[in-house]
Structure 1
Amino acid sequence: MSSTGSDLSVDIRDKVLRVRINRPEKRNALSRTTLKEIGDVFNRHKSNDSILVAVLTGAGDRSFAAGGDLKDLDSVRTRELTVDMVNTGRTALDAIRNFCVPVIAAINGTALGGGAELAMACDYRVADETAKIGFVQGKLNITTAWGGGADLMERIGSAPALKLLAGCRILDAKAALELGIIDACCDSGQSLDDCVEDFVSPFLERSTTVMRGFKSLRNHARNEFVQSLNELETNNFIESWLHDEHWQSAGNILKKK
């Protein structure tokens, strides 16, 4: 079964839900429409007993998701619109975090800013040789918006995460693997599809009841940490987004596009 929305293509084969961001001309940047579609897809399939694992990736070979779509988000200038944008993104990423089975981010190319947050919302990250991941929000004078900072801290610890967030360092696949951000990298000459297939094969040997049972434990344990920081992370982002320093940085980047 397969379907294609305006920004996504969705396919279910061999007990795997495959969701692809289909905006290669925008380097799979995350507009509000894209985020809503992502949330809708995962919510729509959470009761599908035929699925044992989900894979999220981006179209093309340049980007998993290059970040937020700055042209779309340029109109988000008021507090009300900012809160609405944050809620749209958070709802989408929470649909991934709380999905009924493991979700794997198949990272092809770059995952930057909001794209890094999207990757971290998944349970695991598998990367090709060209992959790069970076929390570069600080370069735009904003903080993480959709729970990505909390996800990063839950994964690698608060002090190492703080260093990455403040440093805006872009990691290649090897460095991200060493830090524990990425769970598997393609061998030399191995395709990303083959690497993902190898990674998910143990999950596909389990029954639906067992897979969902284990994932529910993971969701509960993770949410205790991530949700405890939700209000703080959201408020920090809103204040930084509305600050003049952010709009000066965003304007400089848009002028270059």
Structure 2
Amino acid sequence: MYTNISVEHQNNLGRITINRPSKLNALNKDTIQELHEAFKFFDENLEVKVIIVTGSGEKAFVAGADIKEFADFSVADGGKLAKKGQELLFDFVANLGTPVIAAINGFALGGGLELAMAAHFRVASDTAKMGLPEVSLGVIPGYGGTQRLPQLVGKGRAMEMIMTAGMIDANQALQYGLVNHVTTQEDLLPLAEKIASRIMKNSTVAIRAAIKAVNASYEDGINGFDMEVEAFGSCFGTEDFKEGTTAFLEKRKADFPGK
């Protein structure tokens, strides 16, 4: 079904692995399309409660975009490339109702870091290296990097990372708030799965509402507080709310129907 990625689904967990090891898992047009399809498939599958995205091997999560594909693009072509990529994958992932954890197992550069930043949060191996080196190629990040990096690490640090085109290691990324946790390579996926299992115990309906409310504060023209009030109120009409409150009052664990 897929050429550039592999997909697994087990125990309410979906896993997407970018699998182009000879290219250090670089993103090309076909890989972006396949990733879109895989994320969409998992998001529409009610059995999947969390998605983990990672790279194959131990060298790279995604070492950037496939430069050969756009080296001879015109101004118009470049604009279309960024717009389509953001709509198809990066914004799509950021606004997905199913939680997405990026497990950064190596280099996450350019489009790779942009994909990781589009995920709802990130965990990294202690061998990971992250950066946005686009200005060293005479271009800027085009898949949301200039917007999401400042949101995560602050304007000054983002400006420095983008303008120097340099890389930071996993511990510095942790200090910056770019990743939530750092662990060994062998413990990376087990850690992501452990966090996923904690998420799965909760209401998928409420989590979707929370993602929407949190993202609202980063959208122009939308009042995040108003969105929170609306989303909070909508939760009262769900079966998950009835089950959650009943379970609490009955002093038992909730068994959320996801409705």
1:212 to 202, 208, 222: 208
The corresponding residue for 2:75 is: 79
Structure 1 contact 97–121 (Cα < 8 Å) conserved: yes
- Secondary structure of the equivalent of 2:168? strand
Structure 2 contact 42–51 (Cα < 8 Å) conserved: no
Q: CA deviation at 1:190?
A: 4.7
Q: CA deviation at 1:32?
A: 1.2
Q: CA deviation at 1:222?
A: 3.4
1:118 to 115, 134, 137: 115
The corresponding residue for 2:169 is: 172
The corresponding residue for 1:202 is: 198
The corresponding residue for 1:11 is: 8
Identity %: 32
Matched positions, count: 221
Question: Which one scores higher on RCO, CA 8 angstroms, separation ≥ 6?
Answer: 1
CA RMSD, aligned part only?
1.9
The corresponding residue for 1:246 is: none
**Unmatched tracts of structure 1, length 5 or more:** 226-257
Q: CA deviation at 1:224?
A: 4.0
Q: How does 1:122-137 map to 2 (within 5 A)?
A: 122-137=119-134
Q: CA deviation at 1:211?
A: 2.0
2-structure distance, mates of 1:47, 1:217: 20
Structure 2 contact 50–99 (Cα < 8 Å) conserved: yes
- Secondary structure of the equivalent of 1:30? coil
2-structure distance, mates of 1:67, 1:204: 31
The corresponding residue for 1:237 is: none
Structure 1 contact 97–123 (Cα < 8 Å) conserved: yes
Structure 1 contact 113–134 (Cα < 8 Å) conserved: yes
The corresponding residue for 1:148 is: 145
From the CA coordinates, give the structure whose radius of gyration is larger: 2
Q: CA deviation at 1:73?
A: 2.4
Structure 1 contact 36–88 (Cα < 8 Å) conserved: no
**CA distance 1:38–1:110, shift in 2 (3 Å):** same
Q: CA deviation at 1:168?
A: 1.7
2-structure distance, mates of 1:80, 1:162: 26
**Unmatched tracts of structure 2, length 5 or more:** 222-259
- Render the CA deviation track for 1:207-238: whole Å, top value 9, x for unaligned: 2222222222123233449xxxxxxxxxxxxx
Structure 2 contact 59–106 (Cα < 8 Å) conserved: yes
> Is 2:70 the partner of 1:35?
no
The corresponding residue for 1:163 is: 160
Q: CA deviation at 1:72?
A: 2.2
- Render the CA deviation track for 1:92-129: whole Å, top value 9, x for unaligned: 11111111122111101100111111111111111112
2:65 to 64, 68, 80: 68
Structure 2 contact 25–61 (Cα < 8 Å) conserved: yes
- Secondary structure of the equivalent of 1:222? coil
- Which amino acid in 2 is paired with 1:138? V
With structure 1 as the length reference, what TM-score do the two structures score? 0.80
The corresponding residue for 1:182 is: 179
2-structure distance, mates of 1:23, 1:95: 22
The corresponding residue for 2:237 is: none
With structure 2 as the length reference, what TM-score do the two structures score? 0.79
2-structure distance, mates of 1:173, 1:159: 19
- Which amino acid in 1 is paired with 2:116? A
